[in-house]
């Protein structure tokens, strides 16, 4: 499947440009390279214009015929990163929500520093059971998935033990609008906001809230993302789950997170916004 996210597309274009540079540096035409590799001439053009994703064997043959076989493995690693960047929801969740929840546990267990930004929902580590159930039930219905919501909720709740274990740190930035959009009804949302007040006092959790009236000149609200140390970033899109592993892209998300964090308020000010959101539920 060809990547369909902007980030994956960008990575594919970068790989294509590097392959084109290798061919040009070897003083080979596209036809020359195709002849040496036993390909149709159009294959080289499609790869260089990012209209076709090469296989690992293609990359190795490309480097060999361009006289730089030592560069092949680095480029194959880049290719594998592109392959893993985008996973369609229907593929990820084809066996149900519980399996999708379980699949991320190893990543969570090896992470020590979580940076989480959310513009739509309270994120998983800070959710209560009824809130999780409301979110996953909506996903199950919208995507036509098997109904294993109860089991998936329990997996997500069990994963929250990591907040209390070891030396992990959870830095969470929420848009205030997240607190103002009831999920699961008024009672569920009130309980969820109360829980948010409780977990925000934990030593492992830093909770920042960006007020509705914050000046957004420096950075706009963006898609929700999770940063796992400096190793991976995951982004939840409507159509798929994007995993980013390229260092320069991870750095971009780290910079955005830092800018968002500067807009947020913490401590007493953050608790005041949460309390105000609770009061608004009764209006």
In the chain, ranges of CATH 3.30.870 domains: 93-280
Give the pLDDT of residue 203.
96
Do 3 and 82 meet the contact criterion of CB atoms below 8 Å apart? yes
Q: What is the pLDDT of residues 178-217, one digit of tens each?
A: 999 899 999 999 999 999 999 999 999 999 999 999 999 9
Percentage with pLDDT > 70 across the chain? 92
Of the pLDDT bands very low, low, confident and very high (cuts 50, 70, 90), residue 79 is: confident
Residue 3: pLDDT band with limits 50, 70, 90: very low
Alpha helices in the chain, H assignment, sequence order: 6-25, 30-37, 41-48, 56-65, 72-85, 89-92, 97-103, 105-110, 129-143, 149-159, 176-180, 186-199, 247-263, 267-280
Q: Tell me how far apart the alpha carbons of residues 255 and 278 are, in angstroms, rounded to a whole number.
A: 32
Report the greatest alpha carbon distance in the chain: 74
Q: What architecture (CATH level 2) is domain 93-280?
A: 2-Layer Sandwich (3.30)
In this structure, is the dihedral angle defined by the CA atoms of residues 222, 228, 232 and 238, taken in order, positive or negative?
A: negative
The mean per-residue pLDDT over the stretch 132-147 comes to 90
6-85, CATH topology level:
434 Repressor (Amino-terminal Domain) (1.10.260)
CA–CA gap between residue 217 and residue 89 (Å, rounded): 33
Confidence of residue 69 (pLDDT cuts 50, 70, 90): very high
Strand duo 232-236 + 240-244: pairing:
antiparallel
* pLDDT band (50, 70, 90) for residue 88: low
Is the CA virtual torsion 182, 187, 138, 273 positive or negative?
positive
- Residue 14 has a pLDDT of 86
Q: pLDDT band for 240, please (50, 70, 90 cuts).
A: low
The angle formed by the CA atoms of residues 15, 241 and 96, to the nearest 5 degrees, is 140
Opening angle at CA 156, ends 188 and 244, nearest 5: 115
Compute, in degrees rounded to 10, the torsion defined by CA atoms 254, 260, 265, 266.
-20
Please determine, for residue 87, whether its predicted confidence score (pLDDT) is greater than 70: no
Q: Quote the strand ranges of 193-252, DSSP E.
A: 205-210, 225-228, 232-236, 240-244
H-run or E-run covering 98: helix 97-103
Residue 249 has pLDDT above 90, yes or no: no
Closest CA to 104 of 243, 248, 252: 243
Confidence check: pLDDT of 49 > 60:
yes
For the chain, what is the radius of gyration of the CA atoms?
A: 23
- Going by their DSSP bridges, the two strands 205-210 and 232-236 should be labelled as unpaired
Residues of the chain with CATH 1.10.260.40: 6-85
Q: What is the pTM of this model?
A: 0.75
Taking the CA atoms of residue 10, residue 11, residue 17 and residue 20 in that order, the dihedral angle to the nearest 10 degrees is -130
């Amino acid at each position: 499947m060809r990547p369909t996210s902007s980030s994956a597309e960008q990575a594919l274009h970068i790989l294509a440009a590097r392959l084109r540079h290798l061919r040009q540096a070897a003083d080979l035409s596209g036809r020359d390279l195709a002849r040496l590799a036993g390909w149709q001439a159009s294959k080289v053009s499609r790869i260089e214009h990012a209209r076709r994703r090469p296989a690992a064997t293609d990359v190795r043959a490309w480097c060999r015929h361009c006289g730089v076989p030592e560069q092949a493995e680095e480029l194959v690693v880049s290719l594998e990163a592109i392959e893993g960047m985008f996973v369609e929801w229907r593929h990820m969740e084809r066996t149900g929500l519980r399996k999708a929840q379980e699949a991320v546990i190893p990543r969570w267990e090896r992470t020590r520093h979580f940076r989480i930004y959310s513009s739509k929902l309270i994120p998983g580590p800070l959710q209560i059971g009824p809130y999780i159930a409301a979110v996953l039930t909506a996903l199950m219905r919208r995507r036509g998935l098997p109904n294993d919501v109860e089991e998936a909720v329990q997996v997500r709740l069990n994963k929250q033990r990591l907040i209390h274990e070891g030396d992990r740190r959870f830095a969470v930035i929420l848009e205030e609008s997240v607190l103002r959009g009831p999920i699961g009804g008024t009672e569920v949302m009130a309980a969820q906001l109360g829980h948010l007040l409780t977990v925000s006092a934990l030593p492992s959790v830093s909770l920042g809230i960006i007020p509705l009236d914050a000046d957004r000149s420096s950075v706009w609200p963006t898609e929700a993302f999770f940063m796992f140390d400096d190793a991976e970033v995951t982004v939840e899109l409507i159509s798929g789950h994007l995993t980013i592993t390229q260092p320069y892209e991870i750095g971009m998300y780290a910079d955005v997170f830092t800018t968002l964090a500067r807009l947020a308020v913490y401590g007493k000010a953050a608790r005041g916004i949460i309390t105000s959101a609770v009061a608004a539920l009764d209006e």
